[in-house]
Amino acid sequence: MPFESIRLITFDCYGTLIDWENGMLAALRPVLSRGRHVSDSQILELYGEIEAELEAGPYLPYRQVLAQAAREIGRRLGTEISAEEGGAFAESLTRWKPFIDTVPALQSLARRFRLGIISNVDDDLFAETRKKLAAVEFEFVVTAQQMQSYKPLHRNFEEAIRRSGLSKDEILHAGQSLYHDIAPANALGIQNVWVNRPSIRPGSGAARPGTATPNYEVRTVGELSALLNAGSA
């Protein structure tokens, strides 16, 4: 991997640094269990489809996206989910945990690279997640709330480039979603790494499936750290 030019790594957060699959399922299984049996894979598939539909429309705060997605999953499965239960699902994001490799890998990368976040989230929700990543310093965080738009729209990435003060060839973007992260990075000419974590739904997880081809592929952020640190040694 040619890392000589890279000075900044931007990360997607949920699915890449934070284990959103298990976080979602822990919150949704109890309410969906009132209806017919549904597999974890089907829950994640429905979430990815519905989330993308909601994010492609007029801007909604991510809390609303989460809450409406939960209620729509229930509707499609024939199980009524109340507004209060939808809100509780949104709030569950504050309890989603980092993958075990996340913090050590970010700490290692921070010794050599500047780090940033580009995330489809609200500022207050990310503030809770940031406490779980407190050992890591991010130079900037670009959220959907700040931009009033969601990845894969290019403007979220363009804002990260603007804040960095760097040229595109000095930036590497790492994300779990081909749809949200790799496709727009490719379109903008940003080097990218697909963090293709092991998943109940291989290749897409809780995101809408995508067909983009990444520049590089790893299975964890720990693997990415090892490759980048070796390449820049």
The yes-or-no verdict on residue 3 having pLDDT over 90 is no
Phi, psi of 19 (to 5 degrees): -80, 80
Residue 124 falls in the annotated catalytic set: no
Give first-to-last CA distance, the chain, whole Å: 12
Q: What ranges make up the beta strands (E) of the chain?
A: 8-11, 114-119, 140-143, 171-175, 191-195, 216-218
Cα angle 53-148-214, degrees, rounded to a multiple of 5? 60
Does an H or E element contain 154, and which? helix 154-164
Contact 213, 186 (CB under 8 A): yes
Q: What is the pLDDT of residue 1?
A: 54
DSSP per-residue codes, 101-136: THHHHHHHHHTTSEEEEEESS-HHHHHHHHHHTTTS
List the CATH code of the domain at 20-95: 1.10.150.750
List the CATH code of the domain at 8-19+96-231: 3.40.50.1000
CA distance 196 to 192: 12
- Selecting among 12, 19, 122, 181, the annotated active-site residue is 12
Q: What is the pLDDT of residue 11?
A: 98
Q: What is the pLDDT of residue 65?
A: 98
pLDDT band for position 19 (cuts 50, 70, 90):
very high
**Each residue's pLDDT tens digit, 48-74:** 999 999 999 999 999 999 999 999 999
The residue count for the chain: 233
CA distance 99 to 20: 9
Contact 113, 225 (CB under 8 A): no
Structural domain boundaries in the chain: 8-19+96-231, 20-95
Mean pLDDT computed over 76-94 = 96
Report the Cα 27 to chain-centroid distance in Å: 18
> Are β-strands 114-119 and 140-143 bridged in parallel, bridged antiparallel, or unpaired?
parallel
**Each residue's pLDDT tens digit, 70-79:** 999 999 999 9
